[in-house]
Homo-oligomer: A and B are copies of this chain.
Amino acid sequence: MLKTASKISVPGFLANGISAGIKGADKKDLGLIYSTVPAKAAAVFTRNAFKAAPVLINMERIKKGSAQAILTNSGCANAATGKDGYTDALVVSASAAKQIKIPEEQLLVCSTGVIGRRLPVKKIESGLSRLVKGLHEYGIEDAEEAMMTTDQYPKIAIRKGIVGAKDITVCGIAKGAGMIEPNMATLLVYVMTDALVESKALNTVFHQVIDTTFNAVSVDGCMSTNDTAIILANGLAGNNPLERAQARIQRFRDMLMDVLAELAQAVVKDGEGATKLITITVEGAKTRSDARKAAYAIANSNLVKTAFFGEDPNWGRILAALGASGIPLEREKVTLCLGGVPVFAQDAPQDFMPARLRDVFKSKKIDVLVSLGSGDKAHKLLTSDLSYDYVKINADYST
C-alpha cells in the first residue's frame, strides 16, 4: 500500500501536479486537488506560534465548513515572511481561484519547504494555467508528488467500502519526512472522499481520527509552521448524510482510521534516514499525561534513537530517558520489555538471553513496552531511529 497503486481516483475529484520551476530541475512542485462540486471540509492545523501565511488564510476559510480545491506548492514554506508573505499567498490564491473558476474562499492553499523565504509568486502564477488545464481523474499521484520535499516515496492510502448501501471511497495522501516531532518537518495530509457527511460530524470524526493517528506519531506539541490536515467530502456517493451519534458513521470512521493510520506509519517509516519503525507503549500510568510524557521522553532521546540505529542493545538508555522524563516513578514497579524480552523489573535487570535481545534490535520493527505499575492509563506512539542520513539530509537542506 505504500507503493503507489496505479489508477487511483475518487469519484468527483480531479487532480494534477506539475513543475513550476520552484525547485528547478523539472521536479514537480505545484499540485492541485479539485472537487467538481463544493465539498464539506474540515481541517487540523499546527499550533506553532509562527504559523505560515497559508495556514492563517486556511484557518479563516475553513470556518464555513466548505471547500472545493487545495493548491499546494513545495520548495518554499512561505513562513516567517510577515505581511508580505501573507499578501503573496493571497495573490496566488486569487490567481488560482480565477483559473479554476471557483470563489476564492473555496480554495485552500498550502506551502512546504524552506522557512523565511518569499513565495515565488511569478513562477507559481505562470504555472497555474497548465496546472488547471491538466486536471484529470487519475491525477492524485501527480498532486502527491508535487508536495514531496525530502520524502523518499509517495504516501497514498485508499479504502473502498459500503456505507448506507452506497459504495464510497476514502483516499488520503501525505507528505512528511523530517524526524517529525520534535523536529518539525512539515506534515501535509489531505483526505478526499465521496461520502456525504454532515459538517459538524465530519469535523468531529476528522479530529478524533487525527488525534489517534498523526497526533500519535510524535507530531503534536512541536508542530512545524505549516502542518495541515484537510478532509474534503464531496457527497457524490449519494448516501444519506452521515450524522453524529449514528451507528452508520462508525463504518466511515473506520475507513478513515485505516487510511490515516496507514499514512501515519508511512510517514514515520520515511522519517529522514529512518531505518526502523519503533512503537513505544507506556502503560500503567496514573494519568494519560504521564503516559504521554514518558513515551515522548523515550521517543525523543537521541541516545535511544542512535542505539536503535546501531542495533546496540543498550536498553539502559531507555530507562535513563524514562527517569529523566520528570513523571513520578515507583522504581520497583517499573518493567521494561523489548520485543517481548523482559529486560528490567523489580528495580533490577532480568535474566534474559543477550542473543535474543540482539535479535530484537536487529529487526526492522521494534516494540518498546514500559509498564509503570502505578495506574491504568496508557499512551502509544510511533517513532523512528536516528541515522547518519538524518544528519546528512538536514545539514544542507536550504542550500
Using CB atoms and an 8 Å cutoff, list the residues of chain A in contact with chain B.
47-51, 77, 79-85, 114-118, 178-179, 182-185, 221-225, 300-303, 306-307, 309-310, 312-317, 319-324, 326, 329, 331, 343-344, 346-349, 386-388, 390-392, 394-399
A344 to B79 CA separation, bound complex (whole angstroms): 12
- State whether B184 touches A50 (Cβ < 8 A): no
- State whether B302 touches A390 (Cβ < 8 A): yes
- State whether A344 touches B309 (Cβ < 8 A): no
Extra 11 A-B pairs, beta carbons < 8 Å, given A50-B329, A114-B316: A47-B324, A50-B319, A115-B319, A116-B315, A184-B324, A302-B390, A302-B394, A310-B396, A312-B399, A313-B398, A313-B399
Interface centre among A178, A225, A302, A398, by most B CB within 10 Å? A302
A316 to chain B, nearest CB (A): 2
A86 to chain B, nearest CB (A): 9
A349 to B79 CA separation, bound complex (whole angstroms): 10
- State whether B306 touches A116 (Cβ < 8 A): no
- State whether A322 touches B49 (Cβ < 8 A): yes
Q: B residues within 8 A CB of A114?
A: 314, 316
A77 to B323 CA separation, bound complex (whole angstroms): 15
Interface centre among A303, A320, A392, by most B CB within 10 Å? A320
- State whether B179 touches A302 (Cβ < 8 A): yes
A315 to B77 CA separation, bound complex (whole angstroms): 13
A85 to B346 CA separation, bound complex (whole angstroms): 13
- State whether A348 touches B398 (Cβ < 8 A): no
A100 to chain B, nearest CB (A): 30
Q: B residues within 8 A CB of A221?
A: 324, 326
- CB-contact partner of A394 in B303, B329, B394, B395, under 8 A: B303
A45 to chain B, nearest CB (A): 13
Closest 10 CB pairs of A and B: A115-B316, A310-B395, A82-B348, A50-B323, A116-B316, A306-B394, A314-B398, A49-B323, A48-B323, A49-B329
- Given the interface contacts A183-B303, A312-B399, A317-B184, does A322 sit within 8 Å of B391 by beta carbon? no
